[in-house]
Structures are given as structure tokens and as C-alpha cells.
Amino acid sequence: MQVWAGVRKSSSRTYLKDPRIQFAELDFAHPGRLTEQLAVHKQLHGGWDYIIHCAGVTKCRHKDEFDKGNYVYTRNFVEALRTLDMVPRQFVYISSLSIFGPIHEDNYAPISERDTAMPNTAYGVSKLKSEHYLQSLNDFPTVIFRPTGVYGPRERDYFLMAKSIKQHIDFAPGFKRQDLTFIYVRDLVQAVYLAIEHGVRQRAYFVSDGNVYSSRTFSDLIQKELGNPWVIHIKCPLFILKVVSLL
């Protein structure tokens, strides 16, 4: 079995030291160039049996960069694969729970796949757009995963929260109840492998550990694990955060 990692020239390979990993430098921004790169790869190495598309943009300065990085680049990649007859047996797309937005914020009911997605962030909109595109391709073997908050080795966002609590400060946005769900990164990987093993296609799945946590429960757990004797809990009005985000 060969394992390839699609990377940019500027991509860090710090944690990709395993000698069994081979690299394919792909230019998702330019369809023509991308098609040429894939054609050369096909000629030299053949196509891929399984593709796990876990790439995209989670933070950027301008909203249109979300659309470009999460939707346009995904479409460019898939169209090039189809053009070159390089369609894999399965194309696993890592989407996000954020495509649904806070649709049950009034009663905190669980989200169902039968609910109508109503993303309230540019990130969620771009991921939903990619899902709609992939689901429109009836002959393309897609399976979609919508993970909740992913934590584990080298994750940075939750790590920043842990660092803050270590410094005795727990900062939370808004005053309303906030429910959180999580998935450990190795469990997400296991779900992907199970989908490949069972040949799942044309399906979409939510992925979490099956539990719901309050934001306070989460911070209390971190405090306990760090052995921190005391923490100051601070809540900030959402409108202030919205103003700050525009600066």
C-alpha cells in the first residue's frame, strides 16, 4: 500500500516524517496547473484508490477566502479527477457540524440530518456549499463526515483555552447556555477507516463521542486535570466580541 499526502510547497512537513509517506504537491488554486500535476502523477504512479480530503481554511482575514479554500479548491480537485478518469473508489470529505449553525438554540434539541442546515458563519457556508456540490454528483463515490470539535495531539484552539485556564482565567463568550460536543482525533480517523472498510458511499455522518457537555463542565475538567486550585470565570457580551472582530 502507498500513502500520499497532498501538500503545498509551503506546507510544513514537521509531523510527516514517516518514510512511507510520499508527497504530491498540488496547486488547487489554478485548475489548469492542477490538472497537469495530476496527469503527471497518473502517468508515473497511477491514480488513488481512496482519497481523504481533509483540507481547507478555518481562519482567514476575508470571508471570500473561506469560499475559495473550502469550496472552490474542492471543486477544482474533483473536476480534475473526473476529467482525467482518476475517480477513486471512495472520496472521503471532512466537512463540519458548523454547516447547520445554532438551529436549535431556543430549545437545545439535538441536531438531526433531517434538519435544514442554516450556517451562521462564512466557514459553515463554504463547507455546506462543498457538500451540496459533492452530493450533486451522483456518480462520484463521496462519503461526508461532519465532526464536532476535534481535539487531540497538536490541536491548537482548545490548547489555548487550556493555557488560559492554567493561568487561572476561563473566558467564555456570551451569557447564554452553551452546549459543546467533541470527538477525539483518533476516533475520527477510526470512523474514516470504517467507512472505507465497509465501502460506504453517498452518505453523510455526524461524528462525536456521543456526549453533550456544558462549557463550564469542559473548563472544570481542564482545571481538574491541570491541578489548578482556582480559576476566575469571565463572560463577555457577544456584541463586544463582534465589534472587536471587525477591527
pTM over 0.95: no
Averaged confidence pLDDT in the chain: 90
Residue 131 in contact with residue 95, Cβ under 8 Å? yes
Whether 200 is in a domain gets the answer no
* Tens of pLDDT, residues 39-60: 999 999 999 999 999 988 888 8
The whole-angstrom separation of Cα 149 and Cα 35 is 33
pLDDT in tens, 198-215: 999 999 999 999 998 888
> Would you say residue 8 lies in a domain?
yes
Q: How far is CA 191 from CA 37, 47, 52, 92, 197, in A?
A: 30, 24, 12, 11, 10
pLDDT at 244: 63
Residue 155 forms part of a structural domain:
no
From the list 55, 39, 78, 40, the residue with the least C-alpha distance to 5 is: 55
SS3 239: helix
Q: Does residue 33 fall inside a structural domain?
A: yes
Give φ, ψ of 241 to 5 degrees.
-65, -35
pLDDT: which is higher, 214 or 193 = 193
Domain count, the chain: 1
Q: Can you tell me whether residue 204 is helix, strand or coil?
A: strand
Q: What is the CATH number of the domain that holds 124?
A: 3.40.50.720
User: Is 10 within the bounds of a domain?
Assistant: yes
Domain presence at residue 157: no
Q: Is residue 246 part of a domain?
A: no
Q: What is the pLDDT of residues 131-190, one digit of tens each?
A: 999 999 999 999 999 999 999 998 888 888 888 888 888 887 777 777 888 999 999 999
The more confidently predicted of residues 103 and 116 is 116
pLDDT recorded at residue 246: 63
Range of the domain at 113: 3-147
234 within some domain: no
CA atoms of 128 and 110, how far apart (whole Å)? 19
Between residues 230 and 197, which one has the greater pLDDT? 197
